Amino acid sequence: MARVAVFLIAIALLMGTAACGGLDTYQLTISSTAGGSVSTPGEGAFTCDAGTVVELVATADGSHRFYAWTGDTEGIADPASAATTITINGNYSITADFIAAGGTPGPSSP
């Protein structure tokens, strides 16, 4: 009887491991230009499961305004909005771009 219980537990553990192993994970790297920062989820590198929707919030300092998300923007719902989301379907590197309040985008801005 004890052998059957051990066998069943071993099978259950193997099945659980196989079920978790199929989920893809990707890297989301977030940065910002001078004049602001990314307050949600923050700046740096994050590991995300495939299909995860990540909230993005860029916050300008007093002398700048948010301009756009740049980089790998194909997963971003609204690249022109400081508060938006990105759906993770691959590795992404994105930047929150800020410009001087009252200024116009320079040649390096989209």
* Residue range 66-78: mean pLDDT, rounded: 97
Whether the predicted pLDDT of 17 surpasses 90 = no
pLDDT of residue 9: 52
Q: Quote the pTM value.
A: 0.74
Mean pLDDT lowest among 6-10, 20-24, 47-51, 98-102: 6-10
In this predicted structure, what is the pLDDT of residue 13?
43
Please tell me the predicted confidence (pLDDT) of residue 41: 97
CA 19 to chain centroid, in Å, comes to 24
Domain limits of the chain? 24-100
